[in-house]
Amino acid sequence: MTFVTLENVWKVYLDGTVAVDSLDLTVEEGELMVLVGPSGCGKSSILRMIAGLEEISAGSLHIGGELVNEVSPDKRNIAMVFQNYALYPHMTVAENMGFSLRLQHVARAVRKRVVGETANVLSLSELLERQPAQLSGGQRQRVAMGRAMVRDPRVFLLDEPLSNLDAKLRTQMRTEVRQLQRRLGSTMIYVTHDQVEAMTMADRIAVLRRGVLQQVGTPRELYWEPANLFVADFIGSPAMNLLQGRLKVDGDRMQMVYGEGKTFALPSRLLAGPPRSDVHGKEVILGVRPEHLTFAGNGSGRGIPVKVRFSEVLGSETLVHVDVAAPTVVTEGRREIAQDIDDTVLSQLETAEENRFVIKLSGDRPVGAGKETHIVPNQESRL
């Protein structure tokens, strides 16, 4: 059952900035929907409009079948959890969790029961008399979740709630939030810039860029069937390897011509698509995930020639960084990220004579820096 619906929603600020552009999005009851995208893509603006903290410039918002454009935030029965826990430092955990119930004049005995039940779910029962300064980052975040849960809201809105935690604790809390959502059967809309967080937690993901929705789908759909180059490049870590060139069809053979006339043989099954006359000479961008590449046998001469830069040994896997003699593919997503860092970074990216690829190998398998070899698709590749 559809529970939250945004129809042709716009958010335009007074200076003319378009934060959200004609958004159509539905969230099912009991679903964990993750909004993901680079900084400035509009995901937090969407969350704030759902909460009623930002006015909708145009379009309609329905929650539980009710039009709520003009409904005040306190009447929407929505709970928000932010990246900053915003706990009252002079209150105990129990007082923080029960504060909203106190404002609603809920009886003391009922508050105590609800807070106790919620604390038990969040493994906070032993901490109820402590103050925030006596808690770890993960415990504070659970208290913030508990404060939202005691209200029994129709929808949970989470705005990058884990971004202030260290990497190990963030991984642990991802699992806890997901398990909690499933146990409660609650509807959650979760904002993050971390696509790994999105992939591991979401029932569905909405990918945004410059306020425009690019694709909505399950993590598997976004990974295997990206709607466009931006989604393909954004989803996946390490990012997809990209190579620009043109197709050359000769009988039953298809090749990709790249760089300064180098060629790479493509599987003949790709010829089952459009007529050969339509694809011959066509400019394309080839995308291959790092885990779908491997090194060709010694002296085989097959595949794409590369030079190894360095290897990152991560224990269960090894990331081998190599250079391909072809210009770097500068996607719009990479351009925006580079611009956010520094104009110099963008200039270096656009003028790079070598295209950096990453190959993900299972196990402890470093390859010596400076080695010249070839890479080919492995058996798991869809090429």
Backbone angles phi, psi at 249, to 5 degrees: -110, 125
pLDDT at 214 over 90: yes
CB contact set of 153 (below 8 Å; sequence gap of 6+): 77, 78, 79, 186
DSSP string of 68-94, one letter each residue: -TTS-GGGS-EEEEESS----TTS-HH
123 touches 76 (CB < 8 A): no
Report pLDDT for 37. Answer: 92
pLDDT at 299 over 60: no
Give percent above pLDDT 70 in the chain. 89
Tell me how far apart the alpha carbons of residues 145 and 180 are, in angstroms, rounded to a whole number.
10
Please report the domains of the chain, with CATH numbers, ordered by start residue.
Answer: 2-234 (3.40.50.300), 241-377 (2.40.50.140)
Cβ neighbours of residue 261 closer than 8 Å, sequence gap 6 or more: none
What pLDDT, in 10s, does the model give residues 26-48? 999 999 999 999 888 999 999 99
Q: Is the pLDDT of residue 358 over 90?
A: yes
Query: Do 319 and 312 form a contact (C-beta atoms < 8 A)?
Result: yes
Question: Are 251 and 268 spatial neighbours (Cβ–Cβ below 8 Å)?
Answer: no
User: Cβ contacts of residue 256 below 8 Å, gap of 6+?
Assistant: 243, 245, 246, 247, 248, 263, 264, 266, 284, 286
CA dihedral (17, 234, 237, 312) in degrees, to 10, reads -80
Extended beta strands in 218-280, E state: 241-250, 253-258, 262-266
pLDDT at 221: 97
Q: What is the mean pLDDT of residues 196-214?
A: 95
Quick one: pLDDT at residue 298? Answer: 66
Does residue 337 surpass a pLDDT of 80?
A: no
pLDDT given for residue 346 in this prediction: 58
The pLDDT of residue 158? 92
Average pLDDT over residues 304-316: 94
CA distance 362 to 241: 18
Mean pLDDT of 58-70: 96
Q: What is the pLDDT of residue 382?
A: 64
Compute the mean pLDDT over every residue in the chain, rounded to the nearest whole number.
88
Q: CB of 211 within 8 A of CB of 41? A: yes
User: To the nearest whole percent, how much of the chain has pLDDT over 90?
Assistant: 58
* pLDDT per position as a tens digit, 174-191: 888 898 889 889 999 999
pLDDT mean over 339-365: 74
pLDDT in tens, 12-29: 999 999 999 999 999 999
Decide if pLDDT at 269 tops 80.
Answer: no
Residue 302 has pLDDT above 80, yes or no: no
pLDDT of 345 above 60: no
* 146: helix, strand or coil: helix
- pLDDT for 271 beyond 70: no
Q: How far is CA 75 from the centre of its chain?
A: 31
Q: Of 45-59, 71-85, 93-107, 251-265, which has the strongest mean pLDDT?
A: 45-59
* Per-residue model confidence (pLDDT) at position 323: 94
> CA angle 173-179-182, nearest 5°?
140
Give the pLDDT score at 264: 85
CA distances from 49 to 16, 43, 124, 188, 265 (A): 17, 10, 31, 15, 50
Report residue 220's pLDDT band, with 50, 70 and 90 as the boundaries.
Answer: very high
pLDDT for residue 39: 87
